[in-house]
Amino acid sequence: MTSTAGETRTLHGWGRTAPTIATVVTPRAPEEVAAAVTAAGSRGIIARGLGRSYGDPAQNAGGTVLDMTGLSTIHSIDVDNGIVDLDAGVSLDTLMRRALPFGLWIPVLPGTRQVTIGGAIGADIHGKAHHVVGSFGNHVVSMTIVLADGSVRELTPEGPEEELFWATVGGMGLTGVVVRAKLRLHPVETAYFKVDTEQIDNLDDLMRRQTEDDERYAESVSWFDAVTTGDHFGRGLLTRANHATLADLSPKQRRDPLKFDAPQLLTVPDVFPPGMLNKLTGKLFSEVWYRKSPTRLGAIQNITQFLHPLDIAGEWNRGYGPRGFLQYQFVVPEDRGDVIRTVLSLVTEAGQVSALNVLKRFGEGNRAPLSFPKPGWTLCLDIPIGRGLGELCDELDRVVLAAGGRHYLAKESRTTPEAIRRGYPRLDEWRKVRAAVDPEGVFASDMARRLELI
């Protein structure tokens, strides 16, 4: 049983902040998960996937962490019905490579494919298609979960244990360990997108365009510049797309319409000093990013070009240097779009530099009490850790919460328990479901302690 012996490791999230020590166990089968869960000590246990959450949900100081990537089998793909049955440690990248040749598409893809199925369920991730398809939990047909007492249950979105199903969706791994799931995929003709890119030179127009005709597109997102001030404040790029059909492709592309080319051209070395992203480099980055994509309608782009440009560089988070960075992502109701401008002004006034600013309009949310998406605007900022950042984020919290907004737990790394209570009014309902299956608090994480989720 060497695989469940465990090794002591320092763990942190993708933002490389607040590291803690845990015993990491790598189970190879659901039985080994159950064994580790029942053997967990007083500091508890939590599952970890590929570590793409920015903060601390997949670390457990002084306790046990399950490295779920050891459960990595795709058991079956039912091509006719589009149902895939797979282990929770499989990444979206692996799934896409296996499913695409059958013309099956993962309906919810976030900004990276380096996310496990278990992580995708636990954070109820969303993508650029949220306004049409909703979040990840909406596409889970069933899941197998190991509970605190080591028992195994099969959960479905509707049925006797639906409450536990929806508490697990977005539940940050705190209800149990998802070991296997069945997902419903969507049929596609090609692996390409037909993309409309528009350069829009100020924030108001950028948001107006997204409100007007987002419904015409399967995918929609905008990036804007948070460095430039004045008349071009919030200038940005609106990229929206539909899946390309065979007829849209060039003759060359048509020979292999489901080809999935995802090169990783480089791995960023771990040598960057602190302060690499400053006002100067931030301005430069914003200028280049804005200029690289002039308005162009109907361009055919592959998956990497359109969905995951950052996946080209492995370990890109190292570019922020040893102190790391954080992502600040929130959602505010549709009629509070003004908050986006306020937040952006506060960031520029504070002299902080956010290079990757992603803005999207969400569609309807789902039944999960801790699911992040709800109708409205979601903005994600990306800021290196430095003096004054904590105070700025506290200030942003006040603006966001006053507008009826909330934080995305997969990105969260520094807010207060109070802010989560206010943002997630159904938190107590979730706690009740959790307490029923884990009365002793076996499942625990640094995030759960920090935000008093349990």
Partner 1 sequence: MMDAVGNPQSILLLGGTSEIGLATVEAFAGDRPLRVVLAGRSGTRLDAARSRLEAKGCAVELVDFEAQAFDTHAAVVDKAFAAGDVDVAIVAFGLLGDNEEAWTDAAKAVELAQVNYTAAVSVGVSVGDRMKAQGHGALVALSSVAGERARRSNFVYGSTKAGLDAFYTGLTEALRPSGVVVTVVRPGFVHTKMTEGLNPAPLSTTPEAVADVIVHAVRTRTEQVWAPAPLRFVMSALRHVPRPIFRRLPV
> Rule CB under 8 A: which residues touch partner 1?
8, 10, 15, 17-22, 43, 54-56, 60-63, 323-324, 326, 385, 389-391, 393-394, 413-416, 446-447, 449-450
Q: Could you tell me the smallest distance in angstroms from the CB atom of residue 385 to partner 1?
A: 6
- The single residue listed with the structure tokens 């505010």 is 332
Q: How far is the CB of 21 from partner 1 (least distance, A)?
A: 3
Cβ neighbours of residue 346 under 8 Å, at least 6 residues apart? 392, 395, 396, 399
Contact 65, 59 (CB under 8 A): yes
Nearest to partner 1 of 98, 431 (CB atom): 431
Cβ(205)–Cβ(345) under 8 Å?
Answer: no
Min. distance of Cβ 450 from partner 1 in angstroms?
4
Q: How far is the CB of 382 from partner 1 (least distance, A)?
A: 13
| Distance separating the N- and C-terminal Cα atoms of the chain | 31
What's the CA dihedral at 378, 119, 258, 86 to 10 degrees?
A: -150
**Shortest distance, CB of residue 275 to partner 1, whole angstroms?**
12
Taking the least distance from each CB to partner 1, the nearer of 15 and 118 is 15
Closest separation between CB of residue 317 and partner 1, Å?
A: 13
Compare residues 184 and 449 and give the one whose CB is closer to partner 1.
Answer: 449
> Which of residues 11 and 95 has its CB atom nearest to partner 1 in the complex?
11
Rounded Cα–Cα distance for residues 317 and 321 (Å): 8
Considering beta carbons, is residue 349 or 391 the nearer one to partner 1? Answer: 391
What ranges in 297-439 are assigned the alpha helix state H?
A: 303-306, 338-349, 389-402, 417-423, 427-437
Which lies closer to partner 1 via its Cβ, residue 47 or residue 88?
Answer: 47
Q: Which is nearer to partner 1, 20 or 199 (CB)?
A: 20
DSSP 91: B
Alpha helices in 29-78 (DSSP H): 30-39
How would you classify the pairing of strands 313-314 and 219-224? unpaired
Shortest spacing between CB 432 and partner 1, in angstroms? 22
Tokens of 421: 């209570």
d(CA 327, CA 223): 15
